[in-house]
Amino acid sequence: MADPIIKIKKRTISSGIPNNLQAGELAVNLFTNSFYIGTGGVGAITFGAEVDSNITLAANSDNRIPTQKAVKSYVDNYNTASSFQTNLRVSNVTQLVNNNTNTRIEFPSEIFNSITGLTYSGGTFTNTSGVTMFVNVSYQVSFDSNPTGYRATWIQTSGNAQQNKYGALFTTPNGSTAHIHNGSSVIPVHGVNGQFSIFASHNRGSALSTGNASDEVRKNKVDVFKFA
């Protein structure tokens, strides 16, 4: 005697629930590999679907159920790829800024760097990734003590237009103590060799020293944080 074959209602040409299911009736959609139990009314209860072990979840489907391993691998990979990326640099020497001269501040010493596609040279960060990235730039520029004139600092992206300046600070020293600027801004760095630098200026009347070789608190610093 041949083994019995149980057949259930099926659909093969498009997604959706097979038509006219009775209450408790089983059905399958072979187009999406989904199973249904009829309710006797409109719609049905979905109780199964194709099991997907792809760890990238590339199908982006409402008709597949990922395995536990696929979900764990996806989350682990996402967390690794999306962990913060930063470039922290500092200057262990002083740098002179001449009177009424926009001067690019340099940060020669790299403390930590995990940003791929962002290079540094001579005070300029350059995007070599080919893709526009958004970064948060936080900087510190410490002016030597002098009560005369103003102090200005800012983040300058490619070009000299006013709209390419971010995180600007403009202050007048109060007294003879060291004057420290801490500025920050989120900026776009364009994908075709987009650049940015930290600039400083003043009108003391003669050159003014920035940074400090021995005092950690007064060193010129920059921290670039890349958004994933």
Q: Which CATH architecture has domain 86-226?
A: Sandwich (2.60)
Is the per-residue pLDDT at 61 higher than 80?
no
Q: Give the Cα separation of 110 and 176 in Å (integer).
A: 31
pLDDT at 177: 67
Query: Mean pLDDT of all residues in the chain?
Result: 86
Over residues 2-20, the mean pLDDT reads 75
Is the per-residue pLDDT at 173 higher than 60?
yes
Give the start-to-end residue ranges of the domains of the chain.
9-81, 86-226
pLDDT in tens, 127-164: 999 999 999 999 999 999 888 899 999 999 986 666 79
Q: How confident is the model at residue 92 (pLDDT cuts 50, 70, 90)?
A: very high
And the tokens for 30? Answer: 């072979």
